């Protein structure tokens, strides 16, 4: 996942190539930890991945490109939604972006805890340890607070961790997973799923089969982050869509091949949301005579999670700091340390993560807690996406003369088609996210849905309460947040903006 919460400065002269921009988007989006959830669908996972790419990935990427080039001032999604619907809706979008990342941390760190559990020599003991709720809770809290400490040290510190951790913990393990999985198949290994073509299209007569698949949409979340670079590529009207299509193709291939590699090797009944990837690696490495590599891969995956968490600890918090200094949060939230990091926001975020992690002790299983955290992340993130798509359509009418270096072709009809498809896809995934998945034991379905609804409502109400308490004195004297184009301070020029 990624954020459009803040726009880093762009080089004035240096241009990105199509290939470079495509790779940047792939790295920003791809994560391996969610693959076991879709491996349960076998060959039909291909259908879901392709459908989600067409209905969600492509609309998010191109809509964000138009918004980022039309409104390049600081603020990202806060800017875009605010231009269309005003500051109250903008603050909701920004808060959803920040809080969904905060909720996401325990799910990502659960994967790190499971990875660390598999560094031992006895897989049966490792699996038992990875299901131990107290162990998972301790690791989640320890790694998150370590990531927060690294973030306190500033951009240089967490950038180094993110760069090398991403290579070691995501790219290399992905290549190993795909190569070993298909080597097993081509060497005559018996696949654990049906390879018949008639299983490619899901059986839509069983509604429960598509509920868990709604989470695939959020596999592609984050492509909007690199829309801020659209002006750094030559001929963006032609080259940016090409880069996005290449990135989308590469992302889909990694997800499809990685998911099928797990489904081919691990029996469906043996797939676990938290353990499935490590079990698949274990089975593949034993088959290849490389069992000694298992603990090293487990450590690498944990390092990859730490790298991602370090990046995300700082990113959305920096965006929220910019919004806070513009006058939307009290001065206490605007405190920065000598490295320019939003220390109070980071500490509040750490407190929320710690409280949410306690759910691992309260709920009947680690998998149930993992699923609730994952679905809550989906729900909150999709609220932001719904606002983003609606804002893009609205701005075609409210600010038609605004210069847009990249513009979705087809005029208003083209925007309605692409933005509308993205909005409906996000809405569909949003509604499905409240339905308990049949594949996972989540305790009482009523309690499951009740927890999701209660948490979602609580987090949606929070920004409205904060906005209602907003005071003029909250704005920082050193805020560099430009006025919205419809504000009097912007000169009243709706067509050109601030």
Following DSSP, what letter does each residue of 206-246 receive, concatenated? -THHHHGGGGHHHHTTTTTGGGGGGGGBSSHHHHHHHHHHH
Residue 328's pLDDT is 92
Across the range 286-307, mean pLDDT stands at 83
pLDDT at residue 496 is higher than 60:
no
Across the range 35-56, mean pLDDT stands at 83
pLDDT at residue 68 is higher than 50:
yes
pLDDT (tens digit per residue) in 297-327: 888 887 877 777 776 777 678 778 888 998 9
What are the structural domains, with CATH classification, of the chain?
18-469 (1.20.1740.10)
Residue 209's pLDDT is 58
Q: Which residue has the higher pLDDT, 442 or 184?
A: 184
pLDDT at residue 195 is higher than 80:
no
Residue 474's pLDDT is 92
Q: How confident is the model at residue 264 (pLDDT cuts 50, 70, 90)?
A: confident
Across the range 5-33, mean pLDDT stands at 64
Q: Which two three-digit tokens encode residue 25?
A: 């988007």
Q: Which of 190-194, 281-285, 450-454 has the highest mean pLDDT?
A: 450-454
pLDDT (tens digit per residue) in 221-256: 877 766 656 667 787 777 877 887 788 888 888 889
Residue 498's pLDDT is 33
Q: How confident is the model at residue 147 (pLDDT cuts 50, 70, 90)?
A: confident
Across the range 370-385, mean pLDDT stands at 85
Please give the share of the chain, as a percent, with pLDDT higher than 90: 20
pLDDT (tens digit per residue) in 449-482: 888 899 899 999 999 999 999 998 899 888 878 8
Across the range 436-450, mean pLDDT stands at 70
d(CA 122, CA 93): 46
Residue 384's pLDDT is 95
d(CA 311, CA 289): 35
- What's the DSSP call for residue 451? H
Residue 355's pLDDT is 85
d(CA 461, CA 4): 22
Across the range 89-109, mean pLDDT stands at 87
Across the range 17-43, mean pLDDT stands at 76
Q: Which two three-digit tokens encode residue 469?
A: 């308490």
Q: Which residue has the higher pLDDT, 258 or 76?
A: 258
Residue 5's pLDDT is 41
pLDDT (tens digit per residue) in 202-215: 766 666 556 655 66
- The answer to whether 448 touches 368, Cβ cutoff 8 Å, is yes
Following DSSP, what letter does each residue of 345-390 receive, concatenated? HHHHHHHHHHHHHTHHHHSS-HHHHHHHHHHHHHHHHHHHHHHHHH
Residue 86's pLDDT is 94
pLDDT at residue 359 is higher than 50:
yes
CA torsion 414→419→420→422, rounded to 10°? 130
Q: Which residue has the higher pLDDT, 163 or 7?
A: 163
Give the closest residue to 6 by CA, choosing from 76, 55, 84. Answer: 76
pLDDT at residue 377 is higher than 80:
yes
Residue 469's pLDDT is 92
Q: Which of 69-78, 93-102, 135-144, 370-379 has the highest mean pLDDT?
A: 93-102
Long-range Cβ pairs for the range 233-236 (8 Å, 24+): 233/15, 233/16, 233/17, 233/18, 233/21, 234/15, 236/65, 236/69, 236/405, 236/406
pLDDT at residue 363 is higher than 70:
no
pLDDT at residue 16 is higher than 50:
yes
**Mean pLDDT of all residues in the chain?**
80
Strands (E), 250-341: none
Which of 94-103, 149-158, 242-251, 484-493 comes out lowest in average pLDDT? 484-493
Residue 80's pLDDT is 93
Q: Which residue has the higher pLDDT, 251 or 82?
A: 82
């Amino acid at each position: 996942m990624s954020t459009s919460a803040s726009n880093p400065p762009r080089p004035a002269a240096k241009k990105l190539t199509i290939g470079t921009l495509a790779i940047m988007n792939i790295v920003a989006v791809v994560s391996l930890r969610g693959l076991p959830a879709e491996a349960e669908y076998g060959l039909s996972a291909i259908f879901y991945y392709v459908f989600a790419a067409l209905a969600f990935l492509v609309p998010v990427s191109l809509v964000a490109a138009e918004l980022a080039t039309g409104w390049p001032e600081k603020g990202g999604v806060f800017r875009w939604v605010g231009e269309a619907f005003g500051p109250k809706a903008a603050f909701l979008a920004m808060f959803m972006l920040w809080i969904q990342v905060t909720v996401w941390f325990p799910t990502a760190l659960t994967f790190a805890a499971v990875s660390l559990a598999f560094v031992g020599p006895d897989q049966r003991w490792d699996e038992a340890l990875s299901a131990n709720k107290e162990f998972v809770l301790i690791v989640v809290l320890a790694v998150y607070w370590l990531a927060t400490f690294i973030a306190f040290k500033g951009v240089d510190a967490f950038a180094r961790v993110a760069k090398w951790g991403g290579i070691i913990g995501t790219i290399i393990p992905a290549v190993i997973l795909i190569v070993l999985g298909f080597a097993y198949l081509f060497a005559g290994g018996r696949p654990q799923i049906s390879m018949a073509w008639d299983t490619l299209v899901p059986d839509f007569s069983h509604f429960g089969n598509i509920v868990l698949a709604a989470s695939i949409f959020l596999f592609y979340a984050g492509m909007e982050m690199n829309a801020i670079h659209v002006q750094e590529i030559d001929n963006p009207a032609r080259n940016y869509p090409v880069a996005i299509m290449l990135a989308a193709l590469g992302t889909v291939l990694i997800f499809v091949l990685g998911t099928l590699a797990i489904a081919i090797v691990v029996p469906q009944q043996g797939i676990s949301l938290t353990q499935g990837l490590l079990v698949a690696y274990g089975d593949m490495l034993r088959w290849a005579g490389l069992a000694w590599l298992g603990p090293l891969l487990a450590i690498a995956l944990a390092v990859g999670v730490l790298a991602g968490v370090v990046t995300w600890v700082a990113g959305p918090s920096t965006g929220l700091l910019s919004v806070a200094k513009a006058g939307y949060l009290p001065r206490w939230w605007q405190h920065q340390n000598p490295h320019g990091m939003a220390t109070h926001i980071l500490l509040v975020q750490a407190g929320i993560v710690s409280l949410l992690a306690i759910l691992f002790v309260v709920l009947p299983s680690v998998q149930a807690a993992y699923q609730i955290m994952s679905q809550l992340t989906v729900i909150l993130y999709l609220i932001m996406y719904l606002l983003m798509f609606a804002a893009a359509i609205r701005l075609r009418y409210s600010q038609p003369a605004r210069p847009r270096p990249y513009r979705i072709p087809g005029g208003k009809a083209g925007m309605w088609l692409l933005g509308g498809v993205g909005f409906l896809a996000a809405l569909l995934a949003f509604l499905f996210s409240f339905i308990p998945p049949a594949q996972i034991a989540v305790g009482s379905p009523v309690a499951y849905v009740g927890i999701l609804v209660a948490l979602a409502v609580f987090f949606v109400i929070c920004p409205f309460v904060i906005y209602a308490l907003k005071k003029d004195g909250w704005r920082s004297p050193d805020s560099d947040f430009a006025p919205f184009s419809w504000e009097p301070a912007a000169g009243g020029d709706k067509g050109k903006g601030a």
